[in-house]
Amino acid sequence: MMDKKIAVIGMGYVGIPAAVLLANAGHDVIGIQRRSKRSGWKIDWLNQGRCPIGGNEPELPEMLKSVVKAGKFRVTDDYSAIRDADFVLIDVQTPTDENHIPQYDSLKEVAHPIGKQLRSGQIVIIESTVAPGTTEYLVKPILEQESGLKAGFPDGFGLCFSYERVMVGRLVHNIREYPKIVGGIDEETTRQCVDLYQSIVKGGVHGTDPMTAEVSKTVENAYRDVQIAFANEVALLCESLGIDVYDVRRFVNGLPNDPSVPHANPVRNMHFPGAGVGGHCLPKDTWLLMHGFDEYAQYKAEGTHGIQYPSSLVIDARTLNDWMPIHMADLLEVALKESGKELKGTKVGVLGYAFLENSDDSRNTPTVPLLQELDRKGAQYVIHDPYIKRTEEGYLIEPDLDKALKGCDAVLLMTKHDQYKSIDLDRLNNLLRTRVIIDGRNLFEPEKFIDAEFVFKGVGKGNINKLKSHSS
Ligand code: SAJ
């Protein structure tokens, strides 16, 4: 594909790597970012070739510096810049509220000014995850109303949903290596978008329609969420039955492929149980899927509001995964009791505020519901995280690990940052007032702590008493 003019709206975890890769492939890319108090600073940083995304992001900072230096990528807050773009990518946040209803303020906020600039022949691509039906029934009407054009070639504009698959810590890798699904409202839109993405995607680019692409994205994350919930339920069963979930997981995942169909997906791929599920994706994509079903099912099958069925696996999975931080507090309460202490009035060292290891991303972090539960139970806490200095929610982060743990009655691990792997017993012995460890991510070896007379609890670790009897 010849070098194209591309506008990318929203300089975040999705927009920045997409813009940089497209510029690196030779396209002329302009980033559009609102000059808000919260994110306006990114415009100047990016135009200086500085990457606003913290944590370890292989290739991104260097690639950004080189495309800015080469004049292939610049950022502005001026929407008139999209007037001569061939493609306009929408990469804004699409959160859900406390009632799990999609909040499309940012999406609408950008759709109106885009519509005002739109000319026939341009193509708008939504990459942000949206509820099924949103491209056709929410974004298209806004663009048509503002532009006065009809969506669709040959006379109007193109519109497409092509979802992101980013993951902090591997932003560039996922865009380049993972297959890309392109859901265009008509064949010409799909053809041109497939062409565009083939200039940056090695993993294959596949055409379909917007609804199928929207459902595929939300299902992809709901699938992962259900797998994690399954692992969490098994962990709770193992705790109650006095065994180690990681032994069970090893044996279950050890089942080989069926030799008659060697290419088939692994028969079992039990995920990791843990202290909760955070991030901008899994905690909300299930609700986007169900919202699409609730809102738009009637459009598809006249007269039916979608099939009514007895129980929702995906919603139950959400409920269980959202409960895991509470389970962490319960494990702590039991452990402190074993040390002759009540949770009320004790001081807890909480390790990890980010939702994912070795990242500075704390969106929907499971640590917040844990802290709310500790507040409810009258415990004090000090939070440590090597990647996060300030929190949106107003919690203070103690950057010095020793200071964070000094005088605590328990250490509770929420995020599996590499730095915590080097925490040693002597250090903890000197710092803690009471020797209690709650491991929410299977980072620590229980035997070591039990031998040193710590009270150790872990998600899915029901075999601690057995280990104790062996060590005494
Ligand atoms: N988690 C577990 N157990 C597991 C895997 C994850 O408890 O076995 C927890 C993590 O600790 C974290 C949360 O789940 O709190 C989410 O972790 P993640 O590894 O799914 O990270 P995300 O949310 O950044 O990435 C997901 C990925 N989706 C899938 O793998 C289907 C990623 O590929 C998507 O691009 C991303 O969502 C997205 O943007 O949708």
What is the share, in percent, of the chain residues with pLDDT greater than 90?
Answer: 85
pLDDT, position 263: 61
Q: What is the pLDDT of residues 98-125, one digit of tens each?
A: 999 999 999 999 999 999 999 999 999 9
The Å distance, Cα 282 to ligand 1 centre, comes to: 6
The Å distance, Cα 154 to ligand 1 centre, comes to: 40
Distance, CA of 187 to CA of 3 (rounded, Å): 21
H, E, C per residue of 372-439: HHHHHCCCEEEEECCCCCECCCCCEECCCHHHHHCCCCEEEECCCCHHHHHCCHHHHHHHCCCCEEEE
Lowest mean pLDDT among 30-34, 114-118, 165-169: 165-169
pLDDT, position 463: 78
Amino acid at 5: K
Instruction: Please choose from 175, 221, 246 the residue to mutate so as to test ligand 1's pocket, defined by most ligand atoms within 8 A of CB.
Output: 221
The Å distance, Cα 188 to ligand 1 centre, comes to: 33
* 239 touches 221 (CB < 8 A): no
Mean pLDDT for 291-297 is 87
Look at 92 and 468; give whichever has higher pLDDT.
Answer: 92
Q: What is the pLDDT of residues 409-431, one digit of tens each?
A: 999 999 999 999 999 899 899 99
The Å distance, Cα 370 to ligand 1 centre, comes to: 19
pLDDT, position 7: 98
Answer whether residue 182 shows pLDDT above 90: yes
pLDDT, position 1: 58
The minimum-distance atom of ligand 1 relative to the CA of 227 is: 8
Query: With bands split at pLDDT 50, 70 and 90, how would you rate the model's confidence at 22?
Result: very high
What is the share, in percent, of the chain residues with pLDDT greater than 70?
Answer: 94
pLDDT, position 469: 73
Q: Ligand 1 site: residues with CB under 6 angstroms?
A: 164-168, 220-221, 224, 228, 271-272, 274, 277-279, 281-282, 355-356
Answer whether residue 30 shows pLDDT above 70: yes
Answer whether residue 346 shows pLDDT above 70: yes
Strand 158-161's sheet: what is its strand order? Answer: 73-76, 28-32, 5-9, 87-90, 123-126, 158-161, 180-184, 205-208
Handedness of CA 425, 428, 434, 437 (dihedral sign): negative
Answer whether residue 41 shows pLDDT above 60: yes
Lowest mean pLDDT among 63-72, 124-133, 161-170, 377-386: 161-170
Mean pLDDT for 434-460 is 95
Distance, CA of 178 to CA of 125 (rounded, Å): 18
pLDDT, position 102: 96
* 456 touches 449 (CB < 8 A): yes
Mean pLDDT for 184-202 is 98
* 197 touches 162 (CB < 8 A): yes
Mean pLDDT for 155-166 is 96
Angle at the Cα of 249 (from 446 to 318), degrees rounded to 5?
A: 95
pLDDT, position 471: 63
The minimum-distance atom of ligand 1 relative to the CA of 357 is: 11
The Å distance, Cα 448 to ligand 1 centre, comes to: 30
Answer whether residue 188 shows pLDDT above 80: yes
Average pLDDT, the chain: 93
Packed helices 313-338 and 210-241: angle between N→C axes, nearest 10 degrees: 30
Which residue, by CA, sits nearest to atom 40 of ligand 1? Answer: 281
pLDDT, position 357: 94
Instruction: Please choose from 163, 219, 220, 224 the residue to mutate so as to test ligand 1's pocket, defined by most ligand atoms within 8 A of CB.
Output: 224
The Å distance, Cα 117 to ligand 1 centre, comes to: 36
Mean pLDDT for 378-384 is 98
The minimum-distance atom of ligand 1 relative to the CA of 416 is: 11
The Å distance, Cα 280 to ligand 1 centre, comes to: 9
Answer whether residue 262 shows pLDDT above 70: no
The token pair at 466 is 């057995």
Query: With bands split at pLDDT 50, 70 and 90, how would you rate the model's confidence at 138?
Result: very high
Residue indicated by tokens 């601690």: 464
Answer whether residue 302 shows pLDDT above 80: no
Answer whether residue 185 shows pLDDT above 80: yes
pLDDT, position 264: 60
Answer whether residue 301 shows pLDDT above 60: no
The minimum-distance atom of ligand 1 relative to the CA of 272 is: 8
pLDDT, position 254: 87
pLDDT, position 470: 64
Lowest mean pLDDT among 47-56, 196-205, 433-442: 47-56
Instruction: Please choose from 178, 226, 277, 321 the residue to mutate so as to test ligand 1's pocket, defined by most ligand atoms within 8 A of CB.
Output: 277
The minimum-distance atom of ligand 1 relative to the CA of 224 is: 31
* 116 touches 146 (CB < 8 A): yes
The minimum-distance atom of ligand 1 relative to the CA of 282 is: 23
